[in-house]
Amino acid sequence: MFSLSNKQRTTIQRAVKRINIWEGAVRSSKTWGSLVRWVEYVYRYKGRADLIMAGKTDRAILRNIIRPLQIIFGTKHIKYFSGKGEAVIMGKRIFCIGANDERAEQKVRGLSAGGAYGDEITLWPESFFRMLMTRLSEEGAMFFGTTNPDTPYHYLKKDYIDRKELDLISFHFELKDNPFLSKVYVANLEKEYRGLWRKRFIKGLWVVAEGSIYDCFDDDSPVHVRETPPYDNPDYYITGVDYGTSNPCAFLKIGIIHHNNQVYACIEDEYYYSSETEGRQKGDGQYVTDFKYFTKGYASRNMFTVVDPSAASFIVALQQSGETNVIPADNSVIDGIRYCYNMMDEGRLMILARCKHTREEVSGYTWNKRSQLLGVDEPLKVKDHCCDGFRYPLHTVFNTERYSTMINMEKAMAGSKVIMNKNGVVG
């Protein structure tokens, strides 16, 4: 006999907003309550607009929505016609739509929906979800959906769940919220997962885990994210530049100190310009102006500016503007990632809380799964501009012998005595 927990019943009663989302850990019982609320909504629906159910694929709709509903309400009241892409729930026709890629957005264009249910929302293309929300145009139309957590910077979390002003309610579930699981099963699952996976699968938290490059990074830990630098004054600064015109352009201000023969770095500030977001591109001259404004407060202590090696014209423009010690980066990607990872894992690479783009990118920086299938390690080239912005200078200055002129500088700046050996540490 099917039964509901007290928490499930509570969510059913409270799911009366325009957008209602059940989110959290695997096997946490979030889906069953959402399905009961959806059937209740369909049963009481009196409008004439379309009703929609959506999932990643047709198979996912059958597995995660239709079959559980048939278990609860029986096949008499829940019918599914896979060839037609339709279901009948409590005598009402429901359009079933797979949201597998960006083309799925076209499937809901032109519809006028009175209600919708969604499964595995974070797996949908953003364009599909946003278009579906615009289709809920009938007065009183509601959306009900479930999802496992993803990166905290996923559009669903950042643009919907976290926005208090929206007519939205979300219900968070942890593994412990499912009273129908055996204690042995729960105990075993809790033992099997550690670190980020434990946060995501057991606690249902929105953290990056799968394929994360900097999986040691913890955005909630003062070891990695600080309100203030770990020093009164750094020994000197270096500036990293990832140049872009159609892509975003990033400058990073990085404070450097040498302690116990180790290099410590703190990303103190960031400049981030996206032509796509701002609606216009900038050229070399405009970026030079922005760079000088960005570095104005620490220009005299800026030891090196290390620039994306493909940005030859910008390097020349900076040099012609009077900037000194401007050098192209060593773009050995894997070696650079490995060096920065080690610094971060050892607590020697920190980010100030105000550098929101850098924190967001580090959290979401992932390996390219398709390349991994071919035996090649390379990062996914999506939102990686700040990650490149600190990899360029840290790897180039401290982990290579390419620039021998950096070695054994007795006075890098007034009032600071820094002598570096070939490994970039105090000699």
Whether the pLDDT of residue 375 is over 60: the answer is: no
Among the three residues 201, 233, 263, which one is the final residue of a domain in this structure?
201
Domain-embedded: residue 423:
no
Are 130 and 267 in a shared domain?
Answer: no
Q: Would you say residue 213 lies in a domain?
A: no
Residue 425 confidence (pLDDT) above 60: no
Percent share of the chain, pLDDT over 90 = 67
Query: For residue 357, what is the domain's CATH number?
Result: 3.30.420.280
> In this predicted structure, what is the pLDDT of residue 252?
98
Look up the CATH number of the domain holding residue 30. Answer: 3.40.50.300
Asked whether residue 303 falls in the same domain as residue 380, the answer is: yes
Phi, psi of 124 (to 5 degrees): -80, 150
In this model, does residue 421 exceed pLDDT 90?
A: no
206 inside domain? no
Same domain, 377 and 344: yes
Query: Tell me, what's the pLDDT at 41?
Result: 97
Is 287 domain-assigned? yes
> Are 132 and 234 in a shared domain?
no
- Say what the alpha-carbon torsion angle 143, 146, 147, 152 is, to the nearest 10 degrees: 50
**In a domain? residue 217:** no
208 found inside a domain: no
Residue 414 has pLDDT above 50, yes or no: no
Query: Residue 90, by phi and psi: left (phi above 0), alpha (psi -120 to 50) or beta?
Result: left
pLDDT for residue 410 is more than 50: no
268 and 132 inside one domain: no
The reply to whether 174 and 34 lie within a common domain is yes
Domain boundary among 201, 236, 254: 201
**Do 161 and 242 belong to one domain?**
no
Q: 219 or 242: which carries more pLDDT confidence? A: 242
* pLDDT 10s digits, 310-364: 999 999 999 999 998 999 999 989 889 989 988 998 899 999 999 999 999 999 8
Residues 194 and 324 in one domain: no
Residue 212 lies in a domain: no
Q: What is the mean pLDDT of residues 278-299?
A: 95
Q: Does 198 have pLDDT greater than 90? A: no
- Using H for helix, E for strand and C for coil, what is the string for the chain? CCCCCHHHHHHHHHCCCCEEEEEECCCCCHHHHHHHHHHHHHHHCCCCCEEEEEECCHHHHHHHHHHHHHHHHCCCCEEEECCCCEEEECCEEEEEEECCCHHHHHHCCCCCEEEEEECCHHHCCHHHHHHHHHHCCCCCCEEEEEECCCCCCCHHHHHHHCCCCCCEEEEEECHHHCCCCCHHHHHHHHHHCCHHHHHHHCCCCCCCCCCECCCCCCCCCCCCEECCCCCCCCCEEEEEEECCCCCCEEEEEEEEEEECCEEEEEEEEEEEECHHHHCCCCCHHHHHHHHHHHHCCCHHHEEEEEECCCCHHHHHHHHHCCCCCEEECCCCHHHHHHHHHHHHHCCCEEEECCCHHHHHHHHHCEECHHHHHCCCCCECCCCCHHHHHHHHHHHHHHCCCCCHHHCCCCEEECCEECCECCCCCEC
Lowest mean per-residue pLDDT among 26-30, 209-213, 282-286, 341-345:
209-213
Do 247 and 189 fall within a single domain? no
What is the average per-residue pLDDT within 242-261? 93
Same domain flag for 262 and 304: yes
pLDDT score, position 241: 98
Residue 218 lies in a domain: no
Residue 307: strand pairing partners: 241, 328
Same domain, 330 and 380: yes
Do residues 290 and 197 both lie within one domain?
A: no
Predicted local confidence at residue 254, as pLDDT: 98
- pLDDT tens column, 38-75: 999 999 999 999 999 999 999 999 999 999 999 999 99
Q: How many angstroms separate the CA atoms of 385 and 305, rounded? A: 16
Choosing from 185, 201, 217, the residue where a domain stops is 201
Asked if residue 402 has pLDDT above 50, the reply is no
Q: How confident is the model at residue 187 (pLDDT cuts 50, 70, 90)?
A: confident
Q: What is the mean pLDDT of the chain?
A: 88
Number of domains, the chain: 2
Confidence class of residue 412 from pLDDT cuts 50, 70 and 90?
Answer: very low
Asked whether residue 426 carries a pLDDT value surpassing 70, the answer given is no
What is the reported pLDDT for 405? 39
Average confidence (pLDDT) over 220-234: 93
For residue 419, the model assigns a pLDDT of: 31
Q: What mean pLDDT do residues 357-378 have? A: 82
User: What are the tens digits of pLDDT across the range 108-166?
Assistant: 998 999 999 999 999 999 999 999 999 999 999 999 999 998 878 889 999 999 999 99
* pLDDT class of 196 with cuts at 50, 70, 90: low
Question: Which structural domain range is residue 111 located in?
Answer: 6-201
Is pLDDT above 90 for 236?
yes
